[in-house]
Amino acid sequence: MLTPVVEALGQGMLEVLDLTHPLSPESLYWPTGFPFEHERLEWGRDEAGRWYAAGRFSSPEHLGTHLDAPIHFAEAGWTSTDIPIHRLVGPGVILDISGRAADDRDAVVEPDDILAWEAAHGPLAAGAIVLVRTGWSSHWPDWNAYYGSETPMDATTLHFPGLSPDAATLFAERRVAGVGIDTASIDPGVSTTFDAHRALAEANVYGLENLTGLERLPSTGFLLVALPIRIEGGSGGPVRVAAFVEPALD
């Protein structure tokens, strides 16, 4: 028997939105990393006219739209393969600070933002996946604009929105499964100690970074699926993130 979700998809009652930047050599990476590489090994027709294509790629774990496993900032945290797969699927919510971020590139989510969201929509459910919308994905893939710096390869000069450590701690207390954002880091660009990362990682809450298309999502009421490449013992990896939403009414 078809599940309700599959039935809803088949009847056009649910739309699937891709929240992932495609990987390419132009994909932005953390300044201390290295670029994505893709090489075509075989790409064409043989003498008999039969088509065959195959290639290889190399990539840092933390590039493009990717998952931060808790081990990234917590010694005892889960690795990529430790994260229970059911925690990568769950109810999604949007916390929108794009208005504030448009005026302040160092804007951060504070506990009051979370409490205001809960006052409007009800308590955050345990296992929810929170996506913070800052509007920053509109700058992708412009290095200077996205990292808020004329010297983006110097990680001490960056300016973009993120989470305050207190907000990250409150998310952990709410027992959310993951927190995502449409910037290069859960922490704001000015952070050098990554305290928001650490607060989430200590609670085995994973991060999703460099998301896109969050403006298409409602504040609540959608299903999120975030499936990273399953690297044994990895600290993260590229991830395909999809949201299942009810189509907008014309």
Contact 95, 151 (CB under 8 A): no
Q: Which pLDDT score is estimated for 4?
A: 66
Single pTM value for the model: 0.94
Higher pLDDT, 2 or 239: 239
Q: d(Cα 173, Cα 169) in Å, to the nearest integer?
A: 6
Q: Which of 161, 156, 163, 108 is nearest to 138 (CA)?
A: 161
Q: Which pLDDT score is estimated for 11?
A: 59
Q: Coil, helix or strand for 161?
A: coil
pLDDT-above-90 percentage for the chain: 92
Q: How does 90-121 read in b/e, with b if 16+ C-beta sit within 10 Å?
A: bbbbbbbbbeebeeebebbbeeebbeebeeee
Q: d(Cα 87, Cα 75) in Å, to the nearest integer?
A: 20
152-208 pLDDT tens trace:
999 999 999 999 999 999 999 999 999 999 999 999 999 999 999 999 999 999 999
22-63 pLDDT tens trace:
999 999 999 999 999 999 999 999 999 999 999 999 999 999
**C-alpha distances out from residue 220 to 119, 141, 192, 236, Å:** 13, 28, 32, 26
Q: Which pLDDT score is estimated for 3?
A: 67
Contact 152, 185 (CB under 8 A): no
Unique residue bearing structure tokens 């919308």: 133
pLDDT tops 80 at residue 96: yes
pLDDT tops 50 at residue 1: no
pLDDT tops 90 at residue 8: no
Q: Which pLDDT score is estimated for 156?
A: 95
Q: Which of 160, 98, 105 is nearest to 131 (CA)?
A: 98
pLDDT tops 70 at residue 249: no
Q: Which pLDDT score is estimated for 5?
A: 63
> Cβ neighbours of residue 211 under 8 Å, at least 6 residues apart?
19, 20, 65, 131, 137, 180, 181, 182, 241
Q: Which pLDDT score is estimated for 247?
A: 85
**Encoding tokens for residue 171?**
């998310």
Question: Domains in the chain, start-ordered, CATH in brackets?
Answer: 4-24+61-245 (3.50.30.50)
Q: Which pLDDT score is estimated for 13?
A: 76
Q: d(Cα 203, Cα 137) in Å, to the nearest integer?
A: 27
Q: Coil, helix or strand for 140?
A: coil
Q: d(Cα 221, Cα 226) in Å, to the nearest integer?
A: 16
